[in-house]
C-alpha cells in the first residue's frame, strides 16, 4: 500500500473540511448506524449490503484512483448535480478490468468549492470520506417501465467531507464526530415527500393518474391498453380499439382535477385529455384517414378528440391536470400520447 504523500497545504484544506458533516437522508426502511460511523468501504459497496447504507451518514476509507470520471449520464443519480467526480477503489485492491480495458470503479462526488484537493492527489493515496452512498441510477422514463434502475453503473458516494488518511488524530476525530449540519449530501427520496392537500398519495413510488371525488375518496385510474386495430369504410379509416364500452371509473364532475404522478422528476406539459368514441361493446380512437387515392387526409382526426387542459406543477413528482372547459358526456383518457388512463362522464 502506498504511503500518503500530501503537502502541508493539502492537509490544511482537508482539516478545514472537517468542520462540515453530511446531512444525508436514509432510504425508506434503512436503519443507519450513528452519524459518522466508520464502515469498511468494501462492505458499503457490496451488493448484499449496499442498500443498507444508501442515504446514511457514514465515514469510509478509500484509495484514490483518478480525478477523471467515466462518461455516464450522472444526472440520473441523485445528489451529483454541481459536484466534481473522481474514482476510488477499496484500499489495497487493484482496479478491475473488462474486455475493453479498465472497468469503471466507484465514483465519489464532492462539491466544486472543495474539489481542488483531489487534483493534488496521486493514485494510491489513502483518504477518508464522510458522506452517503447514493441510490442506484434510474432513468426518468423508458417505454413502459418509468424509473427503471440502470444495472452495471458504478456505485456513487456523495461526499461532504474529505481528509487525507494521515491527518492528525484530532482532525479525524473532529470530522467523524462532528454534529455540525452541512448541506444535504443526497436529496430526500421521493417516497418521503407528501403533496400539499393530497397526503394520501405517496409520491415517487409508482407512475399513475389519481382523482379525488367530491366525497373525498381517492381513485386511481386504470391504464388502458389497446385490444386491436381496425380499418373501415370505402375511404379507409384506421381505428385503435379498447375493450369495454365504458371505463370502470365514472364521474359526474365535468371539470375534474387529476393528479399525474411519476417515480422521477415530472414534466406534465405534454399531457392532455382525449375523448374516445363508443361503438357496441368497445371504445375506439380514430388514428388515420386515407383518401380514395391512398393519401392521408389533410386534417388530423385525433385533434378533434383532444380537449384543452391546464397543467400545474405540484411537486417535482406530481402535477395537476384540469380540463380548460367543461367536459360533455362520454368516455375519455388522460394521456401523454403513450400512456392512457381512462374515465367516463355521465349525467
- DSSP-assigned beta bridge partners for residue 133: 54, 157
If asked whether residues 148 and 18 sit together in one domain, one would say yes
**What is the pLDDT confidence band of residue 47, given thresholds at 50, 70 and 90?**
confident
User: Is residue 97 scored above 70 in pLDDT?
Assistant: no
**What is the pLDDT confidence band of residue 274, given thresholds at 50, 70 and 90?**
very high
**CA distances for 127 relative to 44, 120, 247, angstroms:** 16, 12, 60
CA dihedral 211, 217, 218, 222 (to 10 degrees): -70
If asked whether residues 179 and 214 sit together in one domain, one would say no
**What is the pLDDT confidence band of residue 195, given thresholds at 50, 70 and 90?**
very low
CATH number of the domain that residue 74 is part of = 2.40.50.140
What pLDDT sits at residue 9? 38
What pLDDT sits at residue 27? 55
Tell me whether residue 31 is in a domain.
yes
CA distance 138 to 336: 21
Calculate mean pLDDT across residues 305-328.
85
Query: HSE on the CB side for 269, CA within 13 Å?
Result: 1
Given 155, 187, 219, the domain boundary residue is: 187
Tell me whether residue 167 is in a domain.
yes
- For residue 76, the SS3 value is helix
If asked whether residues 17 and 93 sit together in one domain, one would say yes
Given 120, 154, 187, the domain boundary residue is: 187
Calculate mean pLDDT across residues 205-214.
72
**What is the pLDDT confidence band of residue 205, given thresholds at 50, 70 and 90?**
very low
Calculate mean pLDDT across residues 35-52.
91
If asked whether residues 167 and 256 sit together in one domain, one would say no
Calculate mean pLDDT across residues 293-303.
52
If asked whether residues 104 and 178 sit together in one domain, one would say yes
Residue 59 cell numbers, joined: 465515514
Q: What value does the CA radius of gyration of the chain take, rounded to a whole number of Å?
A: 27
Pick from 307, 304, 301, 303: nearest CA to 343? 307
If asked whether residues 129 and 227 sit together in one domain, one would say no
Tell me whether residue 215 is in a domain.
yes
If asked whether residues 22 and 166 sit together in one domain, one would say yes
Given 124, 153, 187, the domain boundary residue is: 187
Calculate mean pLDDT across residues 55-79.
88
CA distance 3 to 93: 15
Rounded (to 5) percent helix, strand, coil in the chain? 15, 35, 50
Calculate mean pLDDT across residues 84-95.
92
Residue 63 belongs to domain spanning: 8-187
Domain count, the chain: 2
If asked whether residues 255 and 175 sit together in one domain, one would say no
pTM of the model: 0.51
Pick from 306, 323, 314: nearest CA to 257? 323
Looking at per-residue confidence, does 305 or 8 come out higher? Answer: 305
User: Is residue 317 scored above 80 in pLDDT?
Assistant: no
CA distance 30 to 132: 13
- For residue 121, the SS3 value is coil
Tell me whether residue 96 is in a domain.
yes
If asked whether residues 285 and 137 sit together in one domain, one would say no
Q: How many CB atoms sit inside 10 A of residue 344's CB?
A: 20
| Burial (CB count within 10 angstroms: exposed 0-12, middle 13-18, buried 19+), residue 98 | exposed
Amino acid at each position: 500500500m502506498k504511503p500518503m504523500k500530501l503537502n502541508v497545504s493539502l492537509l490544511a484544506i482537508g482539516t478545514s473540511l472537517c468542520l462540515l458533516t453530511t446531512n444525508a437522508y436514509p432510504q425508506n426502511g434503512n436503519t443507519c448506524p450513528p452519524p459518522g460511523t466508520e464502515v469498511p468501504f468494501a462492505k458499503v459497496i457490496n451488493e448484499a449490503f449496499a442498500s443498507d447504507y444508501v442515504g446514511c451518514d457514514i465515514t469510509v476509507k478509500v484509495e484514490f484512483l483518478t480525478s477523471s470520471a467515466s462518461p455516464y449520464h450522472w444526472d440520473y443519480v441523485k445528489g451529483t448535480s454541481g459536484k466534481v467526480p473522481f474514482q476510488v477503489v477499496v484500499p489495497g485492491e487493484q482496479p478491475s478490468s473488462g474486455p475493453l480495458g479498465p472497468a469503471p470503479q466507484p465514483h465519489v462526488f464532492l462539491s466544486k468549492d472543495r474539489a481542488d484537493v483531489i487534483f493534488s492527489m496521486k493514485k494510491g493515496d489513502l483518504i477518508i470520506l464522510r458522506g452517503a452512498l447514493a441510490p442506484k441510477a434510474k432513468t426518468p422514463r423508458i417505454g413502459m417501465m418509468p424509473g427503471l434502475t440502470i444495472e452495471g453503473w458504478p456505485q456513487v458516494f456523495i461526499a461532504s467531507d474529505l481528509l487525507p488518511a494521515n491527518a492528525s488524530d484530532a482532525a479525524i476525530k473532529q470530522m467523524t464526530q462532528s454534529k455540525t449540519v452541512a448541506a444535504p449530501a443526497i436529496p430526500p427520496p421521493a417516497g418521503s415527500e407528501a403533496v400539499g392537500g393530497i397526503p394520501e398519495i405517496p409520491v415517487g413510488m409508482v407512475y399513475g393518474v389519481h382523482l379525488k371525488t367530491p366525497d373525498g375518496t381517492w381513485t386511481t385510474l386504470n391504464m388502458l391498453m389497446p385490444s386491436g386495430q381496425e380499418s373501415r369504410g370505402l375511404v379507409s379509416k384506421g381505428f385503435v380499439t379498447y375493450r369495454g364500452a365504458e371505463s370502470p371509473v365514472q364521474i359526474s364532475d365535468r371539470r375534474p382535477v387529476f393528479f399525474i404522478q411519476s417515480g422521477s422528476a415530472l414534466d406534465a406539459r405534454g399531457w392532455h385529455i382525449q375523448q374516445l368514441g363508443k361503438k357496441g361493446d368497445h371504445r375506439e380512437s380514430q388514428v388515420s384517414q386515407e383518401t380514395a387515392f391512398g393519401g392521408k387526409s389533410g386534417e388530423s382526426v385525433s385533434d378533434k378528440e383532444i380537449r384543452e387542459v391546464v397543467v400545474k406543477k405540484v411537486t417535482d413528482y406530481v402535477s395537476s391536470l384540469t380540463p380548460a372547459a367543461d367536459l360533455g358526456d362520454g368516455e375519455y383518457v388522460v394521456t401523454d400520447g403513450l400512456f392512457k388512463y381512462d374515465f367516463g362522464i355521465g349525467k
